[in-house]
A and B are shown apart, each in its own frame.
Chain A
Amino acid sequence: MKRFSVDLLIGAIFAGGMILAVLSSAWTFPDGGEAMDLAARVRPPFANWAHPLGTDPIGRDVLARVVAGGWVSLTVGVLSVLGASIFGVLMGLIAGYFGGVWDMAVMRWADVQLALPFILVAITFTAILGADQYFLILFMIIAQWVQYARVVRASVLSLREREFVQAARAMGLIDLAIIWRHLLPNAFGPVLVLMTLNVANNILLESSLTFLGLGIDPLTPSWGGMLADGRTYLQTAWWVSVFPGIAIMMTVLGLNLLGDWLRDRLDPRGG
């Protein structure tokens, strides 16, 4: 049992630390990392206190940009997962509880989506609709709600036949009350695991699309965008591309550890 708590600790420190740093960036770096100090261009990291992680070739502080750039990644990751899970859970509850035509419609649609090579279509669509974070969020919701719907449907199908649900029905509770009070809380565990892992995944997806110039507006500071900039300076200023990557990795690793820990907690048989 020991390793579970170690996972939790490391995951919480990494993910929590990054999230706190990003959330507090409005106070710690009010300029959002945009201030240019032309007198101090291409400063290497760990050399002086004014710029702990160095500066890029136009004199912007790398630390400030890494912290401020996390905003976009976290916004996209969290909003896309919230949207997809709310819609997906709803559809899964409907499909699982009412069955029949509802079930058929939702699940056939889900099958089509799961078979589509969505990364490919994502690249095409984001290229076309423009680099905009709200399009990206919308796109992730459309692509991912299916996962939640399937998970919820599966648990509802087995819960529906359990005694406590039948008892609730025998007591004359209306469908809505049964779903809300009895099905949803019991089906929520796997959804929470999926949500945690998907925030991590979507942060990765967002940063790689942005890196390719297909995600977020290049003028907004973001981890993927910094890495795209850093790529051109790789020969002269390696630190510009090293630190945003470490920021992504820590956030994603932290969330993955938390997700794994949650899964082990909720399903003691696995792992």
Chain B
Amino acid sequence: MRASLVFALCAALLLSACGAPAAPSSPAAPGDSPTAAVPTNQPSAAPSAGSGELRIGTGLSIPASLIASEGQNGFNMITYGAGETLMRLTPEQELVPWLAESVERADPTTWEVTLRPGVTFHDGTPLTARAVANSFASSWAGLPNAGSFVPTDTRILVRDELHLAFITPEPLGNFRYSLANWNFVIHKAPVNSISPMTGPYRPVSLVVDQEFVLERFADYWGGAAGLERIRVLRLPDANARALALQSGDLDMLTNVAPEIARGLPLEIAQVSLPGTRLHHIILNHTRAPFDERAVREAASLAIDREALLLATLDGQGEVAVSLYPASLGLPLVQAQRYDPEQARALLDEAGWVPGADGVRVKDGQRLEVLLYSYPGRPEITQMAVVIQAMLGEVGFAVAVEEVADVVEMAEGGDFQATMFSVGVQSDPLYMPALTLTEGGAFNYGGYWSAPIEALVAQLRAEDDPAARAELARQVQEVVRTDTPNIYLATPPLITAFRQGHVVGFTPNPNDLYLVTPELGLSQ
């Protein structure tokens, strides 16, 4: 009989769990303000005196080792407060000195850097010009991509303890931006397999794929940080992560998916803002039908990006109007918009006439498109399916196919269109150089445009922010008239934490800067 009772109780508990009402939604309701940053339930408590352990749950990768010059560890080191670069980007995406006190251009290829005095590495030694030069050499030696930001044949001259000069082989207008790149996190040679860095927290242990632990660095140049200890836990299951936050096993979650955020209860605070990533469709300019400008423009005009955002990201994030996410703070040109009537007119004008089944035909060829997608981010394929329906409305016949490795497929060049996502850097050169120029790493569609090549060349050499913004505007004008790719949306960056428990969190569209010295726990 007792056994029966136990079973009955367990069954009742399970049933009550299944039938529990959905937790109230914390983020703004879909459609409320899909294009604006949506900070909700912001913490109100004052920053703490600096004690306690913050437990952060993430589904993203954590470092593979504690050596800053290996793989993409530098990214994680900055994210979690261990590493710093010479320059950094503020939450407003303004480029400001960090470990540098100033970076001045002496001539087109010479940059004079003055270091911030009083900075100490985690091993107790001071930050010197020689240490910075060694750090750059270590990054170039260990990180294959570092040379694409600051060329490996750049000469570094150590002037004195706090002054050094970088002499680049050719003028680099984006040099200051490159100094903010995580590839150049300032570090020393590892001691006991841990690179000493300069951040407010020093790494103490790592269990690969599981746990990354950092402790407060007492001699941090910016004063004592707000936490004694940070434990970053990599938890693969998104639902389990959310439940761990609700149970109190975690204090903070990063990169929360909108569908998970929707189910979090009110005692969990959420901060949602458009990130710096850009979802887009790469069009292949060497294959029909997107070798035709009118077809590219019609496809872009047929996509209702507001509806796309609502359908796939709960309306959070931001629609894309150009190749730059709005969060970068660059002046934007409305290069792409929604106008299905004009899309139809363009296709009619180009000779694509509707067939009996509604699919347009030209010279016996149907307007059929195979749109590739990939499972890396769940909303990508959802977007592809919605786009399939939208393009169908104006006479395209779109098939969606998911591939495991979209880069491998795209590099092969045998595609018409593919979904793609790039984490955009604030440097206005980044997107056009990588996605629109000949030889650009992500120009898989073989796009070529003389004006873009010229503008990118100017952007490479120019360092005046106003002049660069103007060049970025001109790039967008070319994008408006030529439709090289179809830009869709910037997904939201959602961070969740226990209400009133975590204080001093400063949201930044760039997830490189998650942990700051001000971050703390309420007493």
Determine if chain A interacts with chain B.
Answer: no
| Residues of chain A having any CB pair with chain B under 8 Å | none
